Amino acid sequence: GPKVLQIPSHQIIDMGQMVTLNCDPVSNHLYFYWYKQILGQQMEFLVNFYNGKVMEKSKLFKDQFSVERPDGSYFTLKIQPTALEDSAVYFCASSLEQTNTEVFFGKGTRLTVV
Amino acid sequence: AQKVTQTQTSISVMEKTTVTMDCVYETQDSSYFLFWYKQTASGEIVFLIRQDSYKKENATVGHYSLNFQKPKSSIGLIITATQIEDSAVYFCAMREEGTNTGKLTFGDGTVLTVKP
């Protein structure tokens, strides 16, 4: 199926530092998402992005989080500054349409904040 | 608010048998889309099958099929002739037509173990 690529697969960072997670969505997709998963548990919605704007964000999407997709390149999640509780696997996803299509996920970036 | 509930935390079956995983959902929307995903041991999340709320016929893809019971807000996943490699975590998820974001809401997942 369609592939969403995430870079890097693992990232270890010191608490308080900035981290940027990169996502290359499926080429013709228009809607982009970030999800957070801790210890293989529930997939928790963070944010979705369309047409250069955040459409919806959850309470997990703290002020320290930001997303962007400059000039149609990578869709990024930036955390600045990082906190210990940000340690999780972050999944990027994309879909062609708003509701009537499947959402495809990347393999995730495992972020460890130490 | 939309909610998806998977009551089975884990299921263990013998290879080549049939397994059913339960999922119930809550929504105020009259039109919605239901999905099942599989998360493999490597962590990869793979789309398996979908059911659109307006379709009466149960979806089938390969050895995956759905048992859609709309009056009960239920969308069970049926895997026939299970294989060892079907061992994974299975997530039920929903998108509402009325949302302006396309957010996918997940259940907590069911761990399936297929034994030889």
Minimal Cβ distance to A55: which of B97, B100, B104:
B100
Write out the two tokens for B31: 């039109």
Does any CB of chain A come closer than 8 Å to the CB of residue B111? no
Write out the two tokens for B1: 């608010």
Which pLDDT band holds residue B32 (cuts at 50, 70, 90)? Answer: very high
**Does A102 sit within 8 Å of B47, measured CB to CB?**
yes
Q: Who wins on pLDDT, B91 or A71? A: B91
Does any CB of chain A come closer than 8 Å to the CB of residue B9? no
Find, among B15, B34, B18, B6, the residue nearest to B97 by Cα: B34
Residue A71 is predicted with a pLDDT of 78
Does any CB of chain A come closer than 8 Å to the CB of residue B25? no
**Does A41 sit within 8 Å of B102, measured CB to CB?**
no
Strands A104-105 and B3-5: unpaired
Write out the two tokens for B57: 């016929």
**Does A104 sit within 8 Å of B104, measured CB to CB?**
no
SS3 content of chain A, % helix, strand, coil (to 5): 5, 50, 45
Hey, which residues does A91 pair with through a beta bridge?
A35
pLDDT of residue B102 exceeding 90, the answer is: no
**Does A91 sit within 8 Å of B104, measured CB to CB?**
no
pLDDT of residue A106 exceeding 80, the answer is: yes
**What CA–CA distance (Å, rounded) separates A101 from A103?**
7
Q: What is the pLDDT of residues A41-72, one digit of tens each?
A: 889 999 999 989 999 999 999 999 999 998 77
**What CA–CA distance (Å, rounded) separates A54 from A44?**
17
Does any CB of chain A come closer than 8 Å to the CB of residue B84? no
Provide, as residue numbers in chain B, all residues whose Cβ is less than 8 Å from the Cβ of A100: 33, 52, 97
pLDDT of residue A6 exceeding 90, the answer is: yes
pLDDT of residue A4 exceeding 80, the answer is: yes
Give the DSSP H or E segment for A104: strand A104-105
Mean pLDDT of B74-82: 98
Find, among A94, A88, A101, A82, the residue nearest to A34 by Cα: A94
Provide, as residue numbers in chain B, all residues whose Cβ is less than 8 Å from the Cβ of A108: 43-45
pLDDT of residue B100 exceeding 90, the answer is: no
pLDDT of residue B99 exceeding 90, the answer is: no
Does any CB of chain A come closer than 8 Å to the CB of residue B43? yes
pLDDT of residue B88 exceeding 90, the answer is: yes
**Does B105 sit within 8 Å of A45, measured CB to CB?**
yes
User: Is the separation of the CB atoms in B67 and B49 below 8 Å?
Assistant: no
Mean pLDDT of B16-33: 96
Q: For a pLDDT cut of 90, what percent of chain B falls above it?
A: 91
Phi, psi of B86 (to 5 degrees): -80, -10
Residue A39 is predicted with a pLDDT of 81
Q: What is the pLDDT of residues A7-43, one digit of tens each?
A: 999 999 999 999 999 999 999 899 999 999 998 788 9
Residue A74 CB neighbour total at 10 angstroms: 19
**C-beta contacts of A57-63 below 8 A and 24+ residues apart:** A60/A36
Write out the two tokens for A69: 């997709």
Q: For a pLDDT cut of 70, what percent of chain B falls above it?
A: 99
